[in-house]
């Protein structure tokens, strides 16, 4: 039906990623406590980037690249599935599965765009550039916010402790010391309010 082969590939990709709306996470929405999916999560992260970028440890980050990174970072989960961040798991096996997914899904696109998205995803995963560090920071801060405002729903369900939350989230400080200080207060308040086990 589509005569333009390039456009055909692009539309095929845009149809494929509709499935990100079906990948559900452990965190729940603040109001109705329904599990959040990856598309909603990615949208929310982009909003965090837009609103909070002034708190990056680096005086200026490339906003467009950071927004792109958070918008595409979970697309690999269409094939690889979501991993709850407090699960202990084989990180090597996970990375291998995710890289395969990146090549299959982004590979639907015309070559230059496929490469751009694979590079962005690899940059996000490596967490070395200021943009990737800030993207990783909001990727951890957002579920902390949802957990706090849902009275620790996912934490309670899985019996998560303060020390685990600190261990899994302290890399927020790599992207933003201000946001990590804020997150530490949120964790402290969560323990005080009984949303999170002190231990």
Among 25, 36, 73, 172, binds a copy of itself (CB under 8 A): 36
| Inter-CA distances, 22 with 16, 35, 49, 78, 107, Å | 12, 11, 23, 8, 21
Confirm if 69 and 128 have CB atoms less than 8 A apart. no
Of 39-47, 81-89, 90-98, 161-169: span binding a copy of itself (CB under 8 A): 39-47
Among 5, 32, 88, 90, binds a copy of itself (CB under 8 A): 32
Q: Which of residues 136-165 bind a copy of itself (CB under 8 A)?
A: 145-146, 149
Q: Which residues of 121-141 are buried (b: 16+ CB within 10 A; e: fewer)?
A: bebbbebebbbbbbbbbbbbb
Minimum separation from the CB atom of position 126 to a copy of itself (A): 21
Count the neighbouring beta carbons within 10 Å of the beta carbon of residue 32.
7
Of 14-22, 85-93, 152-160, 162-170: span binding a copy of itself (CB under 8 A): 14-22
Binding track over 79-108 against a copy of itself, x by CB under 8 A: ------------------------------
Q: Which of 168, 176, 81, 167 is nearest to 138 (CA)?
A: 176
Of 4-12, 97-105, 121-129, 155-163: span binding a copy of itself (CB under 8 A): 4-12
Among 87, 119, 122, 189, binds a copy of itself (CB under 8 A): 189
Confirm if 199 and 162 have CB atoms less than 8 A apart. yes
| Inter-CA distances, 8 with 20, 90, 140, 164, Å | 20, 37, 35, 46
Q: Is 10 in the site for a copy of itself (CB under 8 A)?
A: yes
Q: Which run of H or of E encompasses 43?
A: helix 38-52
Binding site for a copy of itself (CB under 8 A): 1-2, 4, 7, 10-11, 13-15, 17-22, 29-32, 36-37, 39-40, 42-44, 46-48, 50-52, 55, 63-64, 67-68, 71-72, 109, 113, 145-146, 149, 178, 182, 185-186, 189
């Amino acid at each position: 039906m589509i005569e333009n082969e390039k456009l055909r590939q692009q539309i095929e990709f845009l149809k494929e990623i509709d499935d990100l709306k079906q990948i559900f996470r452990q965190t729940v929405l603040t109001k109705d406590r329904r599990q959040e999916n990856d598309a909603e999560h990615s949208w929310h992260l982009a909003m965090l980037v837009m609103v909070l970028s002034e708190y990056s440890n680096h005086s200026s980050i490339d906003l467009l690249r950071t927004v792109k990174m958070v918008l595409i970072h979970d697309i690999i989960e269409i094939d690889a599935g979501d991993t709850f961040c407090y699960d202990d798991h084989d990180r090597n096996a996970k990375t291998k599965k995710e890289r395969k997914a990146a090549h299959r899904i982004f590979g639907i696109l015309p070559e230059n765009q496929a490469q751009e998205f694979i590079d962005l995803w690899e940059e996000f995963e490596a967490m070395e550039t200021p943009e990737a560090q800030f993207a990783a920071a909001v990727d951890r801060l957002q579920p902390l916010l949802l957990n706090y405002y849902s009275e620790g729903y996912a934490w309670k369900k899985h019996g998560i402790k303060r020390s685990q939350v600190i261990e899994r989230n302290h890399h927020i400080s790599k992207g933003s010391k201000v946001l990590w200080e804020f997150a530490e207060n949120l964790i402290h308040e969560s323990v005080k309010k009984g949303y999170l086990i002190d231990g």
